[in-house]
């Protein structure tokens, strides 16, 4: 006699064992039609799951057209579609051995082992999709069959799939007492697959799908194990949702910072210079410099001190900090002095031995700095400090070098040399909360100014069951409370993630979602008890005794490279006026207006505006188009009429028409105002208040 409690806390009693489908039907016919699965006491199950005892049950439904699906609904859909794809591939290639096929964020994949000599290619996708369409059209039920573990293993051994046997053995080792199969249709007659489930009620619920790409992978992710073929696909409840997804992917491609970076000449990565090493070209350098100027002004306001430190330091420094040899794999190889190297060579020292001697300190050398903190710490330690000096805030756009695996590198998002907008705050225990708030204030200003509104904050706390953390638990409690409070002060959604703290202290990370929905970790604020101890830092307190300062590491942008990559994609290359490499372009209608155009350019230059003139012999239509493709925020089109009246005809990016003429001085003043206020008082608002604004920043490829 199970009593079922629904999410609204209402209850229903049933006379005997009841399935999810029956519960849904008891509530309403519409719900029964929409139901595709259930959650029983928090566990996602098939709609046909039989419930025999009292339970909390939530019905998982497929979304109405236009409604966005729940995570559970997508999970069921995509997991089921992975089966359909596997069945389709096995129909076409019967010798394929299946390995593992889970849903993932954007769809699903299936790993499989192809017989020696056989390959899949994207040419096979239409055939696979045609088979899948047939299976979906047949609307066959997903039918679960369970066997006790031993019997299940016997069956698998008879089938002879070593991968599935391994999967089952792992499941049993993890505590499973039975093994389950899902048949698409009738067990024993139709195709089936060892699978934990759950699944949709039937294949017909899969509204729209697409085989996306091929990749290779390893069994268990182990490079020494079998190489597998991974087929990626995606699925949605209806064709419109699939189309929207594909359109988003297209949009992402158009916004890719590597594509726009080349088009607009923002940066270059050169084979001869090296992988993952960014060359900032003149236009990109302007964007970066403007960002740095922006943040430097805020740092000055907040009482930071600017410092400069070199790109290398002695290994001993990093032994003290703990970066070497602990993080050796993610660093460039140390630099050994020529004399020392020559001596070691004479002694016949092997590379392995050299490596050991560098690690144990019997040979010294230099390291390209993987972090800025040791240098800043030595600045702090270079003179005694009173509690009255604190907090000491040392800031530097510091370039660091890290050895990323070649396969991980990508554009400016993952690189081997990057510049952090770094700072280290040395303060007393009591000052930590106030300093954290200051850091978060900075982050808020940056994100607001750049309209990066969709931000998520992660507060990394210690795992209470672990002993890997340094520092006094009472200090941790205070620091964690301060982080939580600071995160709250930001007014953005935040999650607390136990176990995600660094071993030396809790941290606050900022994750932004770009225009196409991808998440990127940018800035970070971290409390550190470890390094002050390792470097034996101290200040003299009011009691005339030495005390240990607490350090805060913070980099609101994270790295200039990654941040600019995200910004390029966020704005689709259409930077706001204050950041744009070229802010205004002056276009004379014909060479008869060249003199007036040059006069306008001089006025813009005098006001500190980055402006150029296009004096080419193309027609004005062509030059307007060129300027639009170059994402120039503002165009002055000037002809004889303007010259006579002392005006410029203004066209702003994102608004595809002539806005009208304004006196040159007024236009230049308004542009200067927009630049100075970093967009809070725009040219449009000042000169063309009747024009609907807001179209400027986010319109990719149009102006």
Partner RNA sequence: GCCACCGUAGCUCAGGGGUAGAGCACACCCUUGGUAAGGGUGAGGUCACGGGUUCAAAUCCCGUUGGUGGCUCCA
C-alpha distance from residue 434 to each of 335, 482, 525 (Å): 41, 8, 13
Strands (E), 529-594: 539-540, 546-547, 550-555, 584-588
Cβ distance 505 to 534 under 8 Å?
Answer: no
Task: Kindly write down the DSSP assignment for every residue of 592-660, as one continuous string.
Answer: GGHHHHHHHHHHHHHTT--EEE---SS-HHHHHHHHHHTT-SEEEEE-HHHHHHTEEEEEETT--S--E
Q: Residue 175 CB, nearest distance to RNA (Å)?
A: 8
Q: Residue 174 CB, nearest distance to RNA (Å)?
A: 4
Q: Residue 169 CB, nearest distance to RNA (Å)?
A: 10
Q: Quick one: 288 or 585, whose CB is closer to RNA?
A: 585
Q: Quick one: 551 or 703, whose CB is closer to RNA?
A: 703
Q: Quick one: 91 or 262, whose CB is closer to RNA?
A: 262
What whole-number distance in Å separates Cα of residue 583 and Cα of residue 652? 11
Torsion of CA 213, 214, 219, 220, to 10 degrees: -20
Q: Quick one: 213 or 386, whose CB is closer to RNA?
A: 213
Which is catalytic among the residues 46, 193, 421, 422? 422
Instruction: Give catalytic status of residue 553 as yes or no.
Output: yes
Angle subtended at Cα 421 by Cα 418 and Cα 324, rounded to the nearest 5 degrees = 55
Q: Residue 112 CB, nearest distance to RNA (Å)?
A: 12
Q: Residue 351 CB, nearest distance to RNA (Å)?
A: 16
Which is catalytic among the residues 62, 97, 331, 420? 420
**Structure tokens belonging to residue 324:** 């070497």
**Structure tokens belonging to residue 528:** 């550190």
Q: Quick one: 130 or 622, whose CB is closer to RNA?
A: 622
What whole-number distance in Å separates Cα of residue 323 and Cα of residue 377? 14
DSSP state, residue 337: P
Instruction: Give catalytic status of residue 402 as yes or no.
Output: yes
Instruction: Give catalytic status of residue 702 as yes or no.
Output: no
What whole-number distance in Å separates Cα of residue 666 and Cα of residue 10? 67
What residues form DSSP beta bridges with 552? 425, 527
Residue with structure tokens 């009482």? Answer: 303
Q: Tell me the Cα Rg of the chain.
A: 31
Q: Residue 413 CB, nearest distance to RNA (Å)?
A: 9
Q: Quick one: 44 or 522, whose CB is closer to RNA?
A: 44
Instruction: Give catalytic status of residue 424 as yes or no.
Output: yes
Which is catalytic among the residues 553, 554, 570, 585? 553
What whole-number distance in Å separates Cα of residue 3 and Cα of residue 144? 25
Q: Residue 272 CB, nearest distance to RNA (Å)?
A: 8
**C-alpha closest to that of 106 among 251, 246, 258, 253:** 246
Q: Quick one: 471 or 588, whose CB is closer to RNA?
A: 588
Q: At what angle do helices 282-301 and 432-449 cross, to 10 degrees?
A: 140
Q: Count how many Cα atoms sit within 13 Å of the Cα of residue 272 in the half-sphere of its side chain.
A: 0
Catalytic residues: 373, 402, 420, 422, 424, 507, 553
């Amino acid at each position: 006699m199970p009593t079922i409690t629904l999410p609204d806390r209402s209850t229903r009693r049933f006379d005997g064992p009841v399935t999810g489908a029956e519960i849904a039907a008891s509530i309403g016919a519409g719900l029964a039609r929409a139901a595709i699965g259930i959650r029983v006491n928090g566990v996602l199950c098939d709609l046909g799951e039989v419930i025999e005892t009292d339970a909390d049950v939530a019905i998982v439904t497929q979304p109405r057209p236009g409604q966005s699906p729940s995570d559970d609904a997508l999970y069921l859909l995509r997991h089921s579609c992975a089966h359909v794809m596997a069945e389709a591939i096995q129909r076409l290639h019967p010798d394929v051995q299946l390995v593992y096929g889970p849903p993932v964020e954007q769809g699903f994949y299936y790993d499989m082992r192809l017989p020696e000599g056989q390959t899949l290619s994207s040419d096979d996708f239409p055939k696979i999709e045609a088979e899948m369409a047939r299976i979906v059209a047949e609307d066959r039920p997903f039918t679960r069959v369970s066997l006790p573990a031993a019997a299940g293993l016997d069956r698998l051994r008879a089938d002879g799939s070593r991968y599935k046997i391994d999967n089952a053995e792992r499941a049993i080792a993890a505590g499973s007492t039975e093994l389950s199969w899902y048949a698409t249709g009738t067990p024993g007659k139709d195709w089936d697959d060892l699978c934990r489930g759950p699944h949709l009620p039937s294949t017909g619920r899969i509204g729209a799908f697409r085989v996306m790409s091929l990749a290779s992978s390893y069994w268990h992710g182990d490079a020494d194990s079998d190489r597998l073929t991974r087929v990626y696909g995606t699925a949605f409840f209806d064709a419109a949702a699939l189309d929207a997804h594909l359109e988003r992917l297209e949009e992402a491609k158009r916004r890719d910072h590597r594509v726009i970076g080349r088009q607009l000449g923002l940066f270059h990565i050169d084979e001869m210079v090296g992988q993952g090493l960014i060359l900032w070209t003149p236009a990109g350098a302007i964007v970066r410099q403007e960002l740095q100027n922006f943040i430097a002004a805020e740092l000055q306001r907040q009482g930071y001190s600017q410092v400069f430190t070199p790109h290398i330091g002695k290994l001993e420094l990093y032994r003290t900090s703990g970066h070497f040899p602990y993080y050796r794999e993610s660093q460039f190889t140390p630099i050994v002095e020529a004399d020392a190297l020559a001596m070691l060579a004479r002694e016949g020292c092997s590379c392995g031995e050299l490596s050991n001697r560098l690690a144990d300190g019997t040979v010294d050398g230099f390291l390209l700095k993987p972090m800025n903190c040791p240098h800043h710490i030595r600045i702090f330690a270079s003179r005694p400090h009173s509690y009255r000096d604190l907090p000491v805030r040392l800031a530097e756009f510091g370039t660091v070098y890290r050895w990323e695996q070649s396969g991980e590198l990508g554009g400016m998002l993952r690189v081997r040399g990057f510049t952090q907008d770094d700072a280290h705050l040395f303060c007393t225990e009591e000052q930590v909360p106030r300093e954290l708030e200051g850091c978060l204030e900075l982050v808020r200003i940056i994100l607001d100014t750049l309209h990066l509104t969709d931000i998520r904050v992660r507060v990394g706390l210690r795992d209470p069951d672990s002993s890997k953390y340094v520092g006094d638990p009472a200090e941790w409690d205070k620091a964690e409370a301060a982080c939580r409070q600071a995160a709250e002060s930001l007014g953005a959604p935040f999650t607390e993630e136990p176990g995600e703290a660094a071993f030396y202290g809790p941290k606050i990370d900022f994750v932004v979602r770009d225009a196409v929905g991808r998440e990127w970790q940018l800035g970070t604020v971290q409390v550190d008890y470890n390094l002050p101890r390792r470097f034996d830092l101290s200040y003299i307190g009011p009691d005339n005794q030495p005390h240990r300062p607490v350090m805060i590491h913070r980099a609101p942008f994270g790295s200039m490279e990654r941040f600019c990559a995200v910004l390029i994609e966020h704005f689709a290359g259409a930077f706001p006026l204050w950041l744009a490499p070229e802010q205004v372009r002056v276009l004379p209608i014909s060479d008869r207006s060249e003199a007036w155009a040059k006069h306008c350019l001089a006025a813009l230059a005098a006001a500190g505006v980055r402006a150029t003139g296009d004096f080419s012999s193309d027609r004005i239509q062509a030059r307007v188009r060129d300027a639009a493709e170059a994402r120039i925020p503002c165009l002055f089109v000037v002809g004889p009429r303007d010259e006579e009246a002392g005006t410029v005809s203004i066209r702003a990016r994102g608004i595809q028409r002539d806005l009208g003429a304004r006196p040159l001085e007024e236009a230049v003043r308004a542009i200067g105002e927009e630049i100075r206020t970093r967009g809070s008082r725009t040219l449009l608002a000042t000169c063309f208040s009747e024009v609907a604004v807001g179209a400027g920043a986010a319109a990719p490829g149009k102006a």
